[in-house]
């Protein structure tokens, strides 16, 4: 089931804006986690986030937006959906952490 009355919160808008326009450059473990989350939600809810697009080509902002919208609008109805949906907050936080790091790095900060 999908909620239709979703209005993004300011924090969600900021996370999306902070995300890179191009694909995320993730290390192997982070990439596997994020792609696994994407595929798990797609399988559990019978949807496709980015039809025909390889994971490596998905723009960061689009991925962040998709995860946030799924988190806020999908309503799990079975165990597989509940498990997949529960992965979204962690994936969103991970992507936002990477976005923050990239933003700081672009400003010349040292981390």
Encode pLDDT of 17-27 as tens digits. 999 999 999 99
The dihedral sign for the CA sequence 99, 101, 103, 106: negative
Given this model, what pLDDT does residue 2 score?
A: 57
Looking at residue 13, what is its pLDDT? 77
Higher-pLDDT residue of 94 and 5 is: 94
Q: Using one digit for the tens of pLDDT, what is the confidence trace for 44-103?
A: 999 999 999 999 999 999 999 999 999 999 999 999 999 999 999 999 999 999 999 988
What DSSP assignment string belongs to 36-84? Answer: HHHHHHHHHHT--SSTT--GGGS-HHHHHHHHHHHHHHB---SHHHHHH
Report the predicted TM-score, pTM, of the whole model to 2 decimal places. Answer: 0.86
């Amino acid at each position: 089931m999908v909620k239709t009355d979703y209005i993004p919160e300011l924090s969600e808008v900021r996370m999306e804006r902070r995300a890179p326009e191009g694909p995320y450059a993730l290390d192997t473990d982070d990439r596997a986690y994020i792609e696994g989350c994407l595929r798990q939600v797609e399988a559990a809810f019978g949807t496709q986030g980015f039809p025909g697009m390889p994971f490596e080509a998905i723009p960061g902002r689009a991925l962040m937006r998709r995860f946030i919208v799924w988190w806020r609008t999908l309503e799990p109805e079975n165990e597989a959906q509940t498990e997949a949906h529960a992965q979204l907050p962690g994936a969103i936080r991970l992507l936002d952490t990477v976005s923050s790091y990239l933003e700081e790095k672009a400003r010349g900060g040292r981390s």
